[in-house]
Structure 1
């Protein structure tokens, strides 16, 4: 099949990497999957003209509203992949909720990344429950030897003696709403009191670091991370500092969090399982 995949493709965002991964899965099954940035189109008419002119057989969209709204009245079958914004934010807007409901009604299937996401969607649109599948995002880790830690520390002006340095990495390249500077003020105060702690703001890399994760306590993160078991969740910058200090002072907890997190990823975020799911689901579009 020749498939159109609509997504918000701003570089280095979760949508872009998810779209590229799904494209790879579908190419491996012999399909042609063409990525298009949803932000480049304003109306369903434009997409209808595109699918007709370029002879697409079916379509997929990431985000029920951002991408799915462009498939309203589509002449070709399509499937939807939920984004967290759909169920955590856009349902609060009556107009968006109506559009999303209409799109979901016509979709052949929908994919939610977590059980919690499916339940939120099913509570909003009960008739769609049976067409919503749960498939966690797949992770295919690669060795981290390509990341030059010494150079990173040297360029940041941080002493390379890692035994006396506590480095916290914030992976960015995200939308402003993700607020990469959320921790800066509190972290700066901490750094002035304890110069051994450093905050590094970096772009996404292919790293398999085997380090504990601290994440902001929002629905999307809390659906994946179990507090003090597979990671740590904080609600304020001050809580981040307090949890970080407890982690630094408890190497046994650190090792246990890393171990349980690796087990969780291996069990629930299989890249191979994700590939099989999408390859099977697109058969529903034929």
Structure 2
């Protein structure tokens, strides 16, 4: 019997026993043996775009067991002995991983997890559905995070003083080793990054937009001076930047509104077909 990695195998031979049970029973056993310990299910409300690639945003509720990956890239799931049995690894993972949301506190944790997942999935013959969620603000220090969150006038693009470009790029690069076809990337924006031009460029450069992406955004906060319509505007612009699509329905921004947005660090907004530089004010 083969095992995954160098750790000594403690689980009894799966090829002797597991096929004696019907599929439904096996799935129940896998779920009990592999799901994170003492963790309740949580609901997540995500926003996504339609299948036709338009910016029409829809909300969907997903239910998961949370598995918080530590700084060494170790998750509860992949610490379970049952996931190390090569003969049943693909059956276990293909059934269990859609139930689990892997969360991360740093890009390094995500990168190391991706490497570990590659080792496990290498012995699998099935496509393994994977759900990962990360908060772009988690790796900012408290001072930068607080400043980044504020709605202030500035001469430079929003986030430049806090190194937002490097922060976002590091997170996006950490996903690269995960398979694009079967990985669902759930992005958490604790605050809007108003430099949509940089966000669009990074998503294209790192290949993030090739994944199946959903979004979580901040609710209205007291320090925000924009209206509900403006809140929807930033949601649409953020999704459009990450997904590499256009927001044609928001093409009619008047000059005063445009000037106000630029004054608050917004860049690369209101991009429309046929005018590649439109909205890319400095």
Question: What TM-score does the superposition give when structure 2 sets the normalisation length?
Answer: 0.31
Question: What TM-score does the superposition give when structure 1 sets the normalisation length?
Answer: 0.31
Whichever structure has more helix as a proportion of its residues is: 1
